[in-house]
Structure 1
Amino acid sequence: MKGRLHSIETMGLVDGPGIRTVIFLQGCPLRCAYCHNPDSQTMFSNREITPEEVLNIARRYKKYYDRSGGGITFSGGECLLQGEFLLETLKLLKAEGFNTAIDTTGYGKEEYFKEILKYVDTVILDIKHFDNIGYKDLTGVNMNGFYKFLSYLDDFTGKLWIRHVMVPGITDNEESIYKLFDRIAYLADKIDRIEILPYHTMALDKYEALGREYRLKDVPEMDANKAMEYQEILTNLLKDEKQRVINTKRII
């Protein structure tokens, strides 16, 4: 079995806990207006990789993982699109005790979701927008797939990281923040952190090289300080909801 590979980052520091090797798989069903890897969207790739090759890479960097609490993260594109390959690779990694994470929008081959989540320590869930109209405008698809994936998180026992790319003029307001949190509040006891990623235009050159139009070329980059302010609001909402859940359990 082989997976279609986009690229590999061997010393990732932001895609899960500790030092990580990030395996970027090829292919994505979304067409996000601000996608920073547009060349990863199609399933075409000149590079392939086997589960055993991923395992050998993990073994090579094991000492860094052990010292930092790191491991292997699968990203993309959309890693869930190659569900069979992902599942078999995760099984090999977990059999040798490696920490695993997936960075996902929740779109992929649903028949593998349940089994995949059994072998994942951290799910990094990228939420594009809080309502169906805005979601489809930004990604080209509706939120049905996202909600299907959410339903599988009910039984997930690992950690959940929430990420949202905040785009000026679209989601950079408090109303969006509160509506976004409403979508995930019921998962508060599983959520380990929430991150607001400020929109940037670093992918513009890639679109030009591919001869593709960049839909948000006239949108300014998001102010990092403003993004941190919104992240703090979300973090406080999460803390309050976690405390509410604890208090409710005490009463019961």
Structure 2
Amino acid sequence: MTTGRVHSWDLSTGVDGPGTRFVAFLAGCPLRCLYCQNPDTWHMRDGRESTVDGLLSTVRGFAGFVRAAGGGLTVSGGEPLLQPRFTRALLAGARELGLHTALDTSGALGARADDALLDATDLVLLDIKRWNPAGYRRLTGGELRPTLDFADRLARRGTSMWLRYVLVPGVTDDLDEIGGLAAFAAGLGTVERVDVLPFHRLGAGKYDRLGLPFPLRDTEPPSAGLLERARARFREAGLETL
């Protein structure tokens, strides 16, 4: 019986893949992004032990509705590739139910995704957080190269991708850097769209409850004009943005 640590389980529409979707938020993440809104998912101990069969039994009861709505199942986090065996089994089980499948990941642990896991994945929601390696390290505490290698691998496989980019004033808003990322993304050939997501401070209360400092507590969300300029950089590279 395949088990894993799950933080939460939800239904969403449109953000975590096409249509109405079941979203499994797995526990544990190797990165510490300055803008993270879910510090309660950082540690494996923060999740509850769950079985693939148990989760899929819930999905099975609503599978007809979800299929009719053009949706499916997304495995997110935290970082789902911290638990690759569990993630693979969830995606494969959803595929057997005839559901569209999506993997929501930073790509930092992309090397852990074996071919069987990716064979069970229809769409990868890939969060490329910055294009500058030093800036990426300051933002996340990790290295950019594994994510870019994973993106290249997905492109070679012909795997569809939606890119995620969180726009933070003073942190990820350099338009030339965004232009570099846009050129890379356009060159992959399988990026269907780019979601430029405005930074917000809605997770600040979680930091307070956990007794943790929120590094960007005093950072304002981006203006509508800045959002449009960032999205324009992706469109100039021939990419669809949201």
- Alignment TM-score > 0.5, same fold: yes
Cα distance in 1 for residues equivalent to 2:15 and 2:47: 27
Contact 2:40/2:46, CA 8 A, preserved across alignment? no
Contact 2:193/2:239, CA 8 A, preserved across alignment? no
In structure 2, the partner of 1:152 is 153
Cα distance in 2 for residues equivalent to 1:131 and 1:214: 23
In structure 1, the partner of 2:63 is 62
Distance 1:239 1:26, change over 3 A: closer
For 1:125-136, list aligned pairs within 5 A: 125-136=126-137
In structure 2, the partner of 1:23 is 24
Cα distance in 2 for residues equivalent to 1:165 and 1:37: 14
Gaps of 5+ in 2: none
In structure 2, the partner of 1:211 is 211
Deviation at 1:133, TM superposition (A): 0.5
Of residues 36-45 and 108-117 in structure 1, the stretch that sits farther from structure 2 once superposed is 108-117
For 1:34-45, list aligned pairs within 5 A: 34-45=35-46
For 1:2-151, list aligned pairs within 5 A: 2-108=3-109, 110-151=111-152
What whole-Å deviation, never above 9, does each CA across 1:49-88 have from its counterpart, x for those lacking one?
Answer: 2111222222122233222210000110001110011112
Larger radius of gyration: 1
In structure 1, the partner of 2:235 is 235
Deviation at 1:140, TM superposition (A): 0.5
Query: Percent identity of the aligned residues?
Result: 36
Cα distance in 2 for residues equivalent to 1:91 and 1:22: 15
Deviation at 1:208, TM superposition (A): 1.1
- One-letter code of the match for 1:86? T
Cα distance in 2 for residues equivalent to 1:10 and 1:121: 18
Distance 1:169 1:112, change over 3 A: closer
Distance 1:109 1:238, change over 3 A: closer
What whole-Å deviation, never above 9, does each CA across 1:139-178 have from its counterpart, x for those lacking one?
Answer: 0111132133223213333321011001101222421220
Cα distance in 1 for residues equivalent to 2:13 and 2:58: 14
Gaps of 5+ in 1: 241-252
RMSD across aligned positions (CA): 1.9
Deviation at 1:226, TM superposition (A): 2.9
Contact 2:194/2:239, CA 8 A, preserved across alignment? no
Distance 1:171 1:19, change over 3 A: same
Cα distance in 1 for residues equivalent to 2:17 and 2:114: 19
Cα distance in 2 for residues equivalent to 1:101 and 1:136: 26
SS of residue in 2 equivalent to 1:101: strand
Of residues 212-221 and 59-68 in structure 1, the stretch that sits farther from structure 2 once superposed is 59-68
- One-letter code of the match for 1:207? Y
Of residues 64-73 and 33-42 in structure 1, the stretch that sits farther from structure 2 once superposed is 64-73
- Structure 1 runs of 4+ off > 4 angstroms? none
Deviation at 1:46, TM superposition (A): 4.8
Distance 1:125 1:210, change over 3 A: same
Q: TM-score, normalised by structure 2?
A: 0.91
Distance 1:85 1:154, change over 3 A: same
Deviation at 1:212, TM superposition (A): 0.8
Contact 2:104/2:125, CA 8 A, preserved across alignment? yes
Contact 2:155/2:190, CA 8 A, preserved across alignment? no
Cα distance in 2 for residues equivalent to 1:13 and 1:79: 20
**Length, aligned pairs only:** 239
Deviation at 1:7, TM superposition (A): 0.4
What whole-Å deviation, never above 9, does each CA across 1:3-60 have from its counterpart, x for those lacking one?
Answer: 1000011234311000001100000010000111001011113512211122222212
Deviation at 1:107, TM superposition (A): 2.2
